[in-house]
Chains A and B, each alone.
Chain A
Amino acid sequence: MFAAAYEELRRMATSVKRSDPASTLTPTTLVHAAWVKLVASHTFAANSELHFKRVAARAMRQLLVEAARRRKAEKRGGPQAALVTFDEALDAPIEHEEEVIALHDALNELERLNPRQALMVEVRFFGGLPVAEAARLLGISEETVHRDWRAAKAWLAHEVRRAR
């Protein structure tokens, strides 16, 4: 399931463009769209959507980290060929690859300290799960999700800033 989710998310996210003001895209819709697509292909009909979302969040994380690493490598390799794409009118993208890699590392550290909290961050940030669904998935109260999220966010943000 992971591989399929990964591929689907990758295919979808590849064409995501950040500056479309009319876009209604969020991790929630993306993951949901991937779910709908995968369900339609009958690969996962037997699995629960919530479980899928957990897997999808992991896939999303992996996707981002890989993309960030590749981008970093490409930058060292010199400028890319200019292509005429839908994006050509856009400003140069903000450079997030360092941040993503730092976040990934910090999240690994958090996983060591508190696996449940790390999973919560993963499904919330990468999977776009709303608080209620995250609470249901982890078997904790919404209150706890809010509380853990706030602390984790502050700590992770600090770690990311420190790494740069």
Chain B
Amino acid sequence: MDAQRWNRIQELFHEALALPESSRAAFLETACGADTGLREDVLAMLAEDGRPSVLARDAVEVAGELLPDAPPIATIGPYRLLSAIGRGGMGVVYLAERDDLGSRAAIKVLPNAWISAVRRERFALEQRALSRLVHPSIARLYDAGILEDGTPWFAMEWVDGEPVTAYCARRQPTVKSRLGLFRSICEAVQYAHQQAILHRDLKPSNIFVKADGSVRLLDFGIAKRLDLDDDTPDLTRTGVAVMTPAYAAPELIRGEPATVQADVYSLGVILYELLAQAPFVASTRRTADAAALMEPREARPPSGSPTRIEGPGRAAWADLDVLCLTAMHEDLGRRYRSVEALSRDVDRFLRDEPLEARPDEFRYKLRKFTARNRAPLLAAAAVAAALTALIAFFTFRLAVARDAAVAEAARAQRIQQFMLHLFEGGDKEAGPADKLEVLTLVDRSARDARLLAADPAAQADLFQTLGEIYHSLGKYPQASEMLDAALEKRRGLPNKAPALVAESVQAVGLLRLDQGKLDEAESLVRQALALAGSTLPKGHPGIDAATAALGRVLTDRGQYKQAIEVLEEAARLQAARAAPEQDTATVLIRLADAHFYEGDYDRAEALSTQVYDMYRRMYGEDHPRVADPVINLGTIASQRGQYALSEKWFRKAAEINRDYYGPDHPETASSLRGLGQALASQKRFDEAEPVLRQVLAVRERVYGPVHSGVANAVNSLAHVAQGKGDLVLAEQLFQRAADIYRKANGDEHHFVGVALANLAGVYLDKKDYARAERTLRGVVVRFQRVLPEDHFDLAVARVKLGRALLGLGRREEAARESSLALAALAKTAPESSWVRSAREDLVAARR
């Protein structure tokens, strides 16, 4: 063949292709005439056209088949691989053993990780999801890493058991035991939801039961973080591609975004299978067959299965059918709104109570609820709807709020609680304060709430909620307006509930605290505590909450001894009622604060470490709550003179807070202040100054000019100026800090003395010993009134006083102050640089 002939062949090929198939043979007959070879060549090509051939495949795929396999992996980290036990959509799972400990683990590996960033990200996502999930019914993460060739892996709990369906088939447990198992599964899924993680691939093969009957949830391979904006179309698409259609909610198969209700659906299918002893949909391998699954599925009750379990009577089957069908309802509006709602109905069944989901009652309740609570619902929905679009983090919480609102029905209190949860995780940790959109929405809700005069109780609830939201957003005037109004309304209610009044009084008190009105704060919080103590039943959380609030106020007032007593009482009350860990942690961290200010760093450190571990276990490493104990630890390290360690802690805190709140939030500012100080203490003034200026700017904007937080920042900047040798500026700034402390905290407050002692340090630098002595004598007297004798700050004041006296040539007096300081420092901060100063001075004084 030559080029000319090849051209001719191609011409004929294209011409023939343009004709209907039936007339091609005739066309070629005519066109080729006697050249039968030509005709056959074209006919052969026409036959190939559209037929699969190697050219239709992917060259890389072909290469993958032809090239030798990657070398086998025998060990990963401390683990020796025993055998491959599974291959999921996302990687290969091996059974592995630790040689040193002999313990077993399942190791998941992502081969060929380099191929796509999407796969790497999804793998990392699963790892992060697992690291956040610490629950007895969820296989836990042990370790993770990356092999030399870039292959990521993580080790998790190896579950020696069998899929829940196999377990039931073998053991034939009663219906109650089956539902008990199912209940444990729900609990684990619900826990994941609370951590803002959807599983998205729930199916029996991912749910193992161990020989002891305990349940483990496996494989978060296509889990989704709801609080991250990671929902790129790519991830969703791949998520859909690898899920298991037989257990996936119809809306997921249609490609709609996953919600908590998608997991509810999968749980429904699993429940069906546990009761019917047959799969709801005959298993299909992959999404190739998903088209068939997209057809609306016929609602089939498990009672209709010929293989259904024995035991339940007719009435029980009726309820079980409702449970399944409600969980598996195609219509999201009719499906259980949350796993919690499903669990509750399972509990009701187990207790032989009527189900919430009985259809008639359900609609009836819903109708009644909306009729009675239209206005608050609208207000909630106004906040809800727009937030959904705005902040990914809030969407999940909102779904829960709406779920709970409908399911719990008729309890405005619940809505309120969940509304608050939009912005916080149980206390003052607000969402990003600078989200103006959020503020706008809250403002709008506040307007709506004011129109709700016909129902004063609901209005008061709403005022209370909105007030607390404003408070968490740092909008104190609006918060005050709302909380004052809520208190007034609640006091005026005909059947006033003392718990609610106490709650309102306490909320106003804590707001006053943040507004710097300490007297009023203390009086209100004491009032709240008295009210709660006299009206609430013993063991009511309201009592320990009010006690803890008082402890907080006393700490801020500088009455540390009393604060410690009160907070320890709060901890006792909580222990007595077996309070949730979150509440305990909150009190412990306040206790750590009080001990810290009291000067007991060991105790403060132990408590902070305890809370740090609790928070990491509860929330994972990156949660803003974790930053609180981290800041404490940084401060303690700093007080002990361990500045490099302090810097490390504050950097960690700043990172967590910046990622969560953004750079211009007071929380971020707090951790940056610590960082700035740690840098300044290491004499890295040029790094410290911009950090501290930012802190001051944020705080002045948020708190106004008279606030102890502002004074803190001014004080730190003064240190930097002093370190740089700008004594004029330093003097000015320390003076300003002292003035602000005096106005914000009262003249007696220990912080006033700290600022004055710092000011005296500038006088020392200027060799103005007389003035330094005068100031420091005043400071020592101040401290002796409010601090224990061996307090760090008092010791530092004595070191400085010693130095001033030395400068004045009064050696004996100097030696006395220096040795007193040394004795105290040996107890509280033996590593501090002040120890050396005091020693030098002592030597000089005795020379």
Partner of B112, one of A17, A112, A153: A17
Do residues A21 and B54 form an inter-chain contact, with CB atoms below 8 A? Answer: no
Q: With A16-B64, A24-B118, A29-B115 known to touch, is A151 a contact of B58 (CB < 8 Å)?
A: no
Question: Contact string, A78-93, partner B, CB cutoff 8 A, digits 1/0?
Answer: 0000011111110001
Question: Contact string, B32-59, partner A, CB cutoff 8 A, digits 1/0?
Answer: 0000000001001111110101111011
Residues of chain A with a CB closer than 8 A to B1's CB: 109, 113
From A127, which residue of chain B is reached at the shortest CB distance?
B59
Residues of chain B with a CB closer than 8 A to A50's CB: none
Main SS at interface, chain B: helix
Chain A residues 4-60 with CB under 8 Å of chain B are 10, 12-18, 20-27, 29-30, 33, 60
B69 within 8 Å of A (CB atoms)? yes
Residues of chain A with a CB closer than 8 A to B45's CB: 151, 154-155, 158
Question: Contact string, A131-164, partner B, CB cutoff 8 A, digits 1/0?
Answer: 0000000000000000110110111111011000
Do residues A16 and B116 form an inter-chain contact, with CB atoms below 8 A? Answer: no
Residues of chain A with a CB closer than 8 A to B72's CB: 83-85
Do residues A151 and B115 form an inter-chain contact, with CB atoms below 8 A? Answer: no
Do residues B89 and A71 form an inter-chain contact, with CB atoms below 8 A? Answer: no
* Complexed CA–CA distance, A27 and B62 (Å): 10
Q: Which of B14, B54, B66, B111 counts the most A-chain CB atoms under 10 A from its CB?
A: B66
Residues of chain A with a CB closer than 8 A to B122's CB: 22
A105 within 8 Å of B (CB atoms)? no
B451 within 8 Å of A (CB atoms)? no
Chain A residues 57-116 with CB under 8 Å of chain B are 60, 63-64, 67-68, 71, 83-89, 93-94, 96-97, 99-100, 103, 109, 112-114
Residues of chain B with a CB closer than 8 A to A88's CB: 84
* Complexed CA–CA distance, A99 and B65 (Å): 12
Q: With A25-B60, A26-B60, A161-B48 known to touch, is A87 a contact of B69 (CB < 8 Å)?
A: yes
* Complexed CA–CA distance, A25 and B51 (Å): 23
Number of chain A residues close to chain B: CB under 8 A:
59
B649 to chain A, nearest CB (A): 36
Residues of chain B with a CB closer than 8 A to A155's CB: 9, 41, 45, 48
Q: With A103-B54, A125-B59, A158-B44 known to touch, is A13 a contact of B286 (CB < 8 Å)?
A: no
Contacts between the two chains (Cβ within 8 Å), count: 168
Do residues B10 and A151 form an inter-chain contact, with CB atoms below 8 A? Answer: yes
* Complexed CA–CA distance, A118 and B511 (Å): 78
* Complexed CA–CA distance, A60 and B115 (Å): 16
B505 to chain A, nearest CB (A): 57
* Complexed CA–CA distance, A125 and B470 (Å): 62
From A155, which residue of chain B is reached at the shortest CB distance?
B45
Q: With A17-B64, A155-B9 known to touch, is A29 a contact of B55 (CB < 8 Å)?
A: no
From A95, which residue of chain B is reached at the shortest CB distance?
B65
* Complexed CA–CA distance, A24 and B61 (Å): 11
* Complexed CA–CA distance, A13 and B60 (Å): 7
Partner of A103, one of B55, B84, B119: B55
Q: With A24-B119, A160-B54 known to touch, is A16 a contact of B67 (CB < 8 Å)?
A: yes
Partner of A60, one of B2, B63, B109: B63
From A57, which residue of chain B is reached at the shortest CB distance?
B59
Residues of chain A with a CB closer than 8 A to B92's CB: 86, 89
Do residues A64 and B62 form an inter-chain contact, with CB atoms below 8 A? Answer: yes
Number of chain B residues close to chain A: CB under 8 A:
57
Chain B residues 2-20 with CB under 8 Å of chain A are 2-3, 6-7, 9-10, 13-14, 17
Do residues A13 and B67 form an inter-chain contact, with CB atoms below 8 A? Answer: yes
B242 within 8 Å of A (CB atoms)? yes
Partner of B63, one of A21, A33, A63, A87: A63
Do residues B115 and A24 form an inter-chain contact, with CB atoms below 8 A? Answer: yes
Residues of chain B with a CB closer than 8 A to A99's CB: 54
Residues of chain A with a CB closer than 8 A to B71's CB: 83, 85
Residues of chain B with a CB closer than 8 A to A86's CB: 69-70, 73, 84, 92, 109, 111
From A90, which residue of chain B is reached at the shortest CB distance?
B87
A131 to chain B, nearest CB (A): 15
* Complexed CA–CA distance, A156 and B115 (Å): 30
B2 to chain A, nearest CB (A): 7
* Complexed CA–CA distance, A30 and B111 (Å): 15
Do residues B69 and A21 form an inter-chain contact, with CB atoms below 8 A? Answer: no
From B4, which residue of chain A is reached at the shortest CB distance?
A113
Do residues B66 and A100 form an inter-chain contact, with CB atoms below 8 A? Answer: yes
From B242, which residue of chain A is reached at the shortest CB distance?
A22
B90 within 8 Å of A (CB atoms)? yes
Q: With A87-B69, A103-B54, A147-B14 known to touch, is A22 a contact of B119 (CB < 8 Å)?
A: yes
Do residues A114 and B6 form an inter-chain contact, with CB atoms below 8 A? Answer: yes
Chain B interfacial positions (CB closer than 8 Å to A): 1-3, 6-7, 9-10, 13-14, 17, 41, 44-49, 51, 53-56, 58-73, 83-84, 87, 89-90, 92, 109, 111-112, 114-116, 118-119, 122, 238, 241-242, 286
Chain A interfacial positions (CB closer than 8 Å to B): 10, 12-18, 20-27, 29-30, 33, 60, 63-64, 67-68, 71, 83-89, 93-94, 96-97, 99-100, 103, 109, 112-114, 121, 125-126, 128, 147-148, 150-151, 153-158, 160-161
Ordered by A's residue number, 18 sampled pairs between the chains whose C-beta atoms are within 8 Å are A12-B114, A13-B63, A16-B60, A18-B65, A22-B119, A29-B115, A33-B115, A64-B63, A68-B66, A85-B71, A86-B111, A100-B66, A103-B54, A112-B3, A153-B48, A154-B46, A157-B53, A158-B45
Task: State the 10 A-B residue pairs at the shortest beta-carbon distance, nearest first.
Answer: A16-B64, A157-B53, A154-B45, A67-B66, A13-B63, A113-B6, A157-B48, A93-B65, A154-B48, A15-B70
Additional 5 contacts, C-beta under 8 A, given A13-B63, A26-B58, A114-B6: A18-B61, A86-B109, A100-B54, A114-B7, A154-B13
